[in-house]
């Protein structure tokens, strides 16, 4: 049995005040139920995904979210696609919040009188049981034909305190949902439409495992992975778009959302499927050279496996061709596994418009230190900084957190009165013991 909630018939949720979504340009305020606020998808993310969704031809039927949480993402999809929504939640307060949020978004788009909104329905209960859900809707609406599902979306719950997320930690599990809904999905020319909202902490091998599970139910179905970042060098959202909503050309997509929601996102795409190999680029064991350039690349872009494609568009091939030493002319990575991926290049990068967002810091290597960086030799570092007119030097080294503030403070004090106007930073050279001073 499922308890039913009609968004069109909800008047007010008295037990909760809506919370303004700071990523919305319209000051949208959403309800979140008893515990869903920290888990809710930001409106900026939801809206950009929905804009992408409507570029595809969806099969006929409802947009079903079998673990809808606060329903913000479902509301964005349904309102832009103008298809009725079905949201299912075990927690009654979240289900009511989801229904109310659908009204919030429909009201924003002045869609309250449209059929898609009036036909939308939310249920309190188990989202894995497709047959029971559709039978409930069929009986409630007294329809002649059974309801169809045009898009299935799943954002399974994950432990909030886990550093890494295993597939077994998802709730509900992928096979449970696939088994319960497979026979009820409408098919377009490219199959059913499915979007899986997964943990951004999944590693490459786990993502391949997800693909393997999908292929057990829909062999050979089209797949497009999407990494979404809102900055800060981290992946905020990871989704797998399947079948009718998979891009027919691009198999991987990286989306950087701007800090100002009014601006357009930067999108980088690639045709290689995930199974083509490990996402992260190979690290070269080479000694750094003074005079070369070094850039700390956005680690979210590196994790998506699309950093190399973007960097190749930024390299000045004409300048590289003028370097006579063939080994020196080859750019390389010295670190890709940390939150500060290091890319060495003998010539400056030619950044496209907006591309500077993918470089956290960059400049020219002016000094190489072979000893460990410590308070005892900080004077030596400061002397080199002064020599190169550096007045602001940031430590980006993996050092003891209890020591780092003391080192940074000592450098700041010494450079505050005698330093220059240039900026610089210190990094560790990949897996080597050397430290690099970069202007």
Q: What is the DSSP string of 246-271?
A: S-SS-SEEEEE--SSTTSPPEEEEES
> What is the tens place of the pLDDT at every residue in 82-102?
999 999 999 888 899 999 999
Do 258 and 298 lie in a common domain?
no
Whole-angstrom distance between the N-terminal and C-terminal Cα of the chain?
Answer: 66
Do 9 and 148 lie in a common domain?
yes
Per-residue pLDDT, 324: 80
Tell me the average pLDDT across 293-314.
Answer: 89
For 88, the 3-state DSSP assignment is: strand
Query: Which domain CATH number covers 124?
Result: 3.40.50.150
Do 375 and 247 lie in a common domain?
no
Per-residue pLDDT, 139: 86
pLDDT of residue 37 exceeding 60, the answer is no
pLDDT band at 112 (very low <50, low <70, confident <90, very high): low
Tell me the average pLDDT across 131-158.
Answer: 87
The reported pTM is 0.88
Which residue segment(s) compose the domain that 204 sits in? Answer: 3-275
Q: Which residues contact 270 (CB under 8 A, 6 or more apart)?
A: 250, 251, 252, 253, 305, 306, 309
Per-residue pLDDT, 248: 93
Greatest extent of the chain over all pairs of C-alpha atoms, in Å = 83
Per-residue pLDDT, 34: 66
Per-residue pLDDT, 281: 84
Q: Give 433 or 3, the one with higher predicted confidence.
A: 3
Residue where a domain terminates, one of 223, 244, 275:
275
Do 206 and 91 lie in a common domain?
yes
Per-residue pLDDT, 54: 97
CA 23 to chain centre: 15
Do 256 and 333 lie in a common domain?
no
- Mean per-residue pLDDT over the chain, rounded: 87
Structure tokens of 140?
A: 């409630």
Do 332 and 396 lie in a common domain?
yes
How many Å apart are CA 376 and CA 12, to the nearest integer? 65
pLDDT band at 145 (very low <50, low <70, confident <90, very high): confident
Is position 375 within any domain?
yes
Question: What ranges make up the beta strands (E) of 119-270?
Answer: 121-124, 149-154, 193-198, 223-229, 237-243, 252-256, 266-270
Tell me the average pLDDT across 150-167.
Answer: 80
> Which one, of 72, 22, 76, lies nearest residue 52 by Cα?
76
Do 259 and 301 lie in a common domain?
no
Q: Give 53 or 369, the one with higher predicted confidence.
A: 53
Per-residue pLDDT, 11: 60
How many independent structural domains does the chain possess? 2
User: Where is average pLDDT lowest: 186-190, 278-282, 332-336?
Assistant: 278-282
Do 120 and 202 lie in a common domain?
yes
Residue where a domain terminates, one of 227, 243, 275:
275
């Amino acid at each position: 049995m499922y308890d039913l909630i009609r968004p069109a018939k909800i008047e007010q949720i008295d037990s909760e005040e809506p919370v303004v979504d700071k990523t919305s340009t319209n000051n949208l305020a959403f309800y979140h139920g008893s515990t869903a606020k920290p888990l809710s998808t930001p409106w900026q993310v939801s809206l950009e995904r929905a804009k992408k969704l409507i570029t595809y031809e969806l099969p006929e039927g409802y947009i079903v979210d079998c673990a809808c949480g606060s329903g913000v993402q479902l509301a964005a999809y349904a309102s832009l696609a103008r298809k009725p929504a079905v949201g299912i939640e075990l927690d009654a307060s979240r289900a009511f919040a989801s229904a109310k949020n659908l009204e919030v978004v429909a009201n924003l788009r002045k869609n309250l009188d449209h059929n898609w909104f009036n036909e939308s329905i939310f249920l309190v209960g188990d989202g894995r049981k497709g047959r029971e859900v559709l039978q409930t809707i069929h009986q409630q609406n007294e329809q002649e034909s059974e309801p169809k599902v045009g898009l299935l979306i799943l954002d399974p719950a994950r432990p909030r305190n886990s550093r890494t997320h295993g597939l077994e930690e998802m709730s509900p599990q992928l096979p449970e949902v696939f088994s319960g809904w497979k026979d009820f999905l409408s098919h377009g020319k490219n199959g059913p439409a499915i979007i899986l909202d997964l943990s951004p902490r999944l590693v490459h091998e786990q993502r391949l495992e997800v693909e393997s599970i999908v292929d057990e139910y829909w062999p050979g179905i089209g797949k497009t992975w999407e990494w979404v970042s809102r900055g800060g060098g981290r992946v905020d959202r990871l989704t797998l778009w399947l079948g009718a909503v998979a891009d027919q050309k691009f198999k991987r997509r990286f989306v950087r959302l701007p800090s100002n929601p009014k601006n357009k996102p930067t999108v980088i795409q690639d045709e290689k499927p995930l199974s083509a190999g490990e996402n992260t680029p190979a690290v070269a064991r080479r000694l750094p050279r003074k005079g070369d350039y070094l850039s700390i690349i956005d680690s979210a872009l590196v994790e998506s496996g699309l950093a190399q494609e973007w960097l190749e568009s930024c390299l000045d091939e004409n300048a590289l061709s003028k370097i006579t030493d063939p080994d020196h002319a080859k750019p390389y990575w010295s670190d890709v596994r940390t939150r500060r991926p290091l890319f060495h290049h003998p010539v400056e990068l030619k950044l496209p418009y907006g591309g500077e967002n993918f470089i956290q810091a960059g400049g020219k290597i002016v000094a190489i230190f072979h000893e460990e960086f410590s308070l005892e030799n900080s004077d030596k570092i400061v002397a080199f900084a002064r020599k190169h007119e550096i007045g602001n030097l940031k430590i980006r080294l993996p050092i003891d957190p209890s020591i780092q503030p003391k080192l940074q403070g000592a450098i700041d004090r010494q450079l505050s009165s005698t330093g220059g106007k240039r900026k610089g930073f210190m990094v560790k050279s990949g897996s080597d013991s050397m430290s690099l001073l970069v202007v």
